């Protein structure tokens, strides 16, 4: 039986909020970019620019990237699970559904993270984790509302894409434990380099980006912000939290993201912001405290 994930300190919760703001913005930036650009081109631009930013920072701070093929292999797996698959599914999903709804469905990630750890790593699910996940799902359901049942058929495809991305993140949380020994900046940069190498041929074949019209200024700004803020900076914060707080704790960020993504979508993209969004947000906040063990300490474990 593995030891339970450590409680998070106030400073770690602060970093989690910062990460939620950065990734909440990613749904806004994608919502802008998908109006003009295809899926794989957006993903490639996001990860390639972020990698280009972080590589010189790694060497400027005295770090070194992996020096052998074998040492790169874990980062390639992480790139697939944490970048290539979920990023592509998220962008594809946001072509069909609103950015706020996409962020809410992404909030199922902690559920998948706990289940993947239980199924593939033999970890036990403590009572507080189960109760917190149930509360989180309830909050997500309130946030989504009746649109999930009565929306367009294409919306269902978009929702399934988002759930697929959340499942991929669940596996990345488990795999990411292998990378804790590396500095967060090195992990983030190495992962993005591997993601770029994977996505480059995919985007070139599928999208033929040289045939696309030059995007407008708003789209270009959104892509730059997506790469710099929601990817390069966000992943440094992400792997820092993972290193000190554990993979399950860092995935709680997905429950916080809708609290920022929904207002951003309402403000910039004209998406609706209703009373149930605030009610769902309050329940999600409560679920975080329960999962962390502050309101309902977990004493029993479920295999």
pLDDT per residue as tens digits for the range 225-247: 999 999 999 988 888 888 887 76
What pLDDT was estimated at residue 2? 45
Name residue, tokens 């591997």: 194
What pLDDT was estimated at residue 301? 45
Is residue 296's pLDDT more than 80?
no
Residues 73, 89: Cα–Cα separation, whole Å: 23
Look up the pTM and report it.
Answer: 0.85
Is residue 5's pLDDT more than 60?
no
Let me know: does 174 contact 121? Beta carbons within 8 Å. yes
Helix, strand, coil content of the chain in percent (nearest 5)? 75, 0, 20
What pLDDT was estimated at residue 121? 72
CB-side exposure of 277: number of CA atoms within 13 Å?
19
Q: Is 89 exposed, middle or buried (0-12, 13-18, 19+ CB in 10 A)?
A: buried
Residue 157, both tokens? 């495809």
Residues 250, 292: Cα–Cα separation, whole Å: 11
Residues 71, 84: Cα–Cα separation, whole Å: 19
Is residue 72's pLDDT more than 90?
yes
Residue 261, both tokens? 């993504």
Name residue, tokens 């074998």: 70
Average model confidence (pLDDT) across the chain:
85
What's the mean pLDDT in 96-124?
82
Residues composing the chain: 303
Q: At what angle do helices 99-106 and 153-175 cross, to 10 degrees?
A: 40
Lowest-confidence range among 220-224, 257-261, 293-297?
Answer: 293-297
What's the mean pLDDT in 4-22?
81
Let me know: does 176 contact 241? Beta carbons within 8 Å. no
How many C-beta atoms lie closer than 10 Å to residue 155's C-beta?
17
């Amino acid at each position: 039986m593995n030891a339970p994930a450590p409680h998070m300190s106030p400073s770690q919760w602060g970093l989690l909020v910062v990460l939620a703001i950065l990734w909440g913005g990613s749904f806004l930036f994608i919502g802008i970019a998908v109006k003009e650009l295809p899926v794989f081109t957006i993903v490639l631009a996001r990860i390639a620019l972020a990698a280009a930013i972080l590589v010189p920072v790694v060497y400027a701070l005295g770090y070194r990237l992996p020096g052998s093929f074998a040492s790169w292999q874990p980062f390639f797996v992480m790139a697939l699970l944490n970048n290539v698959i979920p990023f592509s599914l998220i962008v594809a999903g946001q072509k069909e559904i609103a950015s706020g709804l996409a962020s809410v469905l992404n909030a199922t990630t902690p559920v998948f993270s706990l289940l993947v750890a239980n199924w593939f790593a033999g970890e036990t699910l403590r009572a507080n984790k189960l109760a917190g996940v149930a509360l989180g799902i309830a909050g997500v359901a309130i946030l989504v509302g009746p649109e999930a049942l009565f929306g367009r058929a294409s919306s269902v495809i978009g929702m399934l894409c988002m759930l697929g991305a959340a499942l991929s993140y669940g596996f990345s949380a488990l795999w990411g434990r292998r990378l804790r020994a590396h500095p967060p900046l090195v992990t983030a940069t190495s992962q993005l380099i591997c993601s770029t190498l994977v996505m480059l041929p995919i985007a070139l074949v599928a999208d033929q980006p040289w045939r696309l019209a030059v995007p407008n200024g708003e789209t270009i700004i959104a892509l730059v912000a997506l790469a710099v803020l929601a990817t390069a900076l966000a992943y440094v914060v992400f792997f820092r939290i993972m290193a000190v707080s554990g993979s399950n704790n860092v995935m709680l960020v997905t429950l916080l993201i809708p609290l920022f993504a929904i207002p951003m979508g309402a403000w910039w993209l004209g998406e609706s912001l209703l009373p149930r969004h605030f009610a769902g947000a309050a329940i999600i906040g409560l679920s975080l405290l329960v999962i962390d063990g502050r309101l309902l300490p977990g004493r029993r474990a479920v295999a």
